[in-house]
Amino acid sequence: MIIDSHLHLYPSEVARDPRGWAATRGELGWSTCVAPAERPSLQGWATVDELLRHMDDAGVDRAILQGWYWQHQATADEQNDWYHRWIQAHPDRLSAFAAVARPDAPALAATRRRLDAGFIGLGELCPQVHQTAFASPEWDALMSLAREYRVPVTLHVSDPVIAPPGPAGKMPPLDEYRALARRFPEVRFILAHWGGGLPFYELSTRVSRDLQNVLYDTAASALLYNKAIYRRVCDVIGPERILWGTDYPLLTHPRRARKPGFALDLDDVRTAGLSAHEETLILGGNAARVFGWA
Least distance to Zn ion from the beta carbon of 19, Å? 20
Start-end of H helices in the chain: 12-16, 18-25, 28-34, 48-58, 73-89, 105-116, 127-130, 137-149, 174-183, 192-195, 205-210, 221-224, 228-237, 263-270, 276-280, 286-291
DSSP state of 197: T
Q: Does 156 bind Zn ion (CB under 5 A)?
A: yes
Q: Which stretch binds Zn ion (CB under 5 A): 10-18, 45-53, 156-164, 234-242?
A: 156-164
Q: Does 242 bind Zn ion (CB under 5 A)?
A: no
Instruction: Name the minimum Å distance from CB 190 to Zn ion.
Output: 11
Q: How many CB atoms lie within 10 A of CB 169?
A: 11
User: Of 1 and 172, which CB lies nearer to Zn ion in the complex structure?
Assistant: 172
Shortest spacing between CB 192 and Zn ion, in angstroms: 4
By beta-carbon distance, which residue lies closest to Zn ion?
A: 156
Under rule CB under 5 A, residue 130 binds Zn ion: no
Complex with Zn ion: residue 165 or 238, whichever CB lies closer = 165
Q: Which stretch binds Zn ion (CB under 5 A): 70-78, 149-157, 167-175, 223-231?
A: 149-157
Give residues 190-219 in contact with Zn ion (rule: CB under 5 A). Answer: 192
Distances from the Cα of 117 to the Cαs of 23, 80, 91, 159, 244, in angstroms? 30, 11, 12, 34, 25
- Smallest gap from residue 248 Cβ to Zn ion (A): 12
Measured from the CB of residue 2, what is the shortest distance to Zn ion in angstroms? 20
Q: Is the bond preceding 254 in cis, omega lying within 30 degrees of 0?
A: no
Stretch in the footprint of Zn ion (CB under 5 A) among 49-57, 82-90, 154-162, 182-190: 154-162
For the CB of residue 88, give the shortest distance to Zn ion in the complex, in Å. 25
DSSP string covering 92-154: TTEEEPBP-S--SHHHHHHHHHHHHTT---EEEE-HHHHT--SSSHHHHHHHHHHHHHT--EE
Contact residues: Zn ion, CB under 5 A: 156, 192
